Amino acid sequence: MQGGMQPMERTLRTMLHSEQGGVCCVLASAILFGVMPFLVQDACLHGGNAVTVACFRFTFSCLLCLPFLQAAHAPIMLPRSKLWQVLGLSLLYAATLILLFSSYGSVGAGVATTLHYIYPIVVLLLSCLLFHARLTVRHVFCLAICALGVLLLAGPESHEGFAAWGAVMAGASGLTYALYMVLLAHSELRQVPTLTMTFWLSSFAALEIGIYAALTGALSLHMTWRGWVEEACLGLFCTVFALVLFQKGLFLCGELKASLCSNVEPLTVVIIGMLAFQEPLSLSLGAGIACILTATAINALPSPQRRSRAGQMPKAMRRQLCWRTKRQPWL
């Protein structure tokens, strides 16, 4: 019996560290990120505001990472060169949240969502221009379907309350997030444990957003106990778990597949709205859901065997990643 379990365990381990395993990790992270708007909205109703919620989301995240790091015997300290890389990425990540949250007051949620989700297109362009990634027909097809799906999910209300400056901020949030994804995928941080990476990214982002909130007078500490509980949930589920899954998935399947699979996030928002808040299912919502699910299913299929070597992880690095994961399951 024990001998029969070993091949099964080996097969499962291989699947978890394959391209399809990376797609599953990104999809799981997108679902967790999709829960975030509801927690943010409710926390704002209980004494917070968008910038304060973002600041304490990362504060709780870096604090909640500590027991996981200790339990897994994972290293906390990083070499100075890698800390500088994480700091640069955290600036892009913090800027994304500040720009996106700030755009909500100027434009409707539909416009902000639609403009923010230009980032899969930007990821595709940056990967091709900067890193000579191979552009396939499948990528273009999935990208077109995802873009159509997000437009349909935004609905006709996206044309109401349009403001040029808010639209610029929402679009800029998509640009900064795309740059974050591409630089992370091609950085040396793939060798850093994902828990350690999440700890430092959250720490730097909390500090940066805290400085911004203090300078603009947006920092509010008058939240009710329910608001603080929701902040803790944001820190644990929508930051620690979601970032660890996203980083692992990004390194396994690449930035192109990861950006396309992330379109499940607005789909999650719509589905939760229908199930929890009895929001009606219109024809445009149904068509948008069908588009994103179709693109996600196509994108999750294994890539053809003949791929450019630039888009593949080197064999020696794959062996090293599998060996380290076998020795250290917290990766």
What is the tens place of the pLDDT at every residue in 154-194?
A: 665 555 555 678 778 888 998 999 999 999 999 989 889 99
Q: Say if residues 277 and 43 touch (Cβ distance below 8 Å).
A: no
Identify the segments of the chain with pLDDT beneath 50: 1-2, 4-5, 8, 12, 306-311, 316-317, 319-321, 323-331
The residues spanned by each domain of the chain are 22-300+308-327
Q: CB-based burial of residue 313 (10 Å sphere; 0-12 exposed, 13-18 middle, 19+ buried)?
A: middle
Q: Say if residues 172 and 84 touch (Cβ distance below 8 Å).
A: no
Q: What is the pTM of this model?
A: 0.80
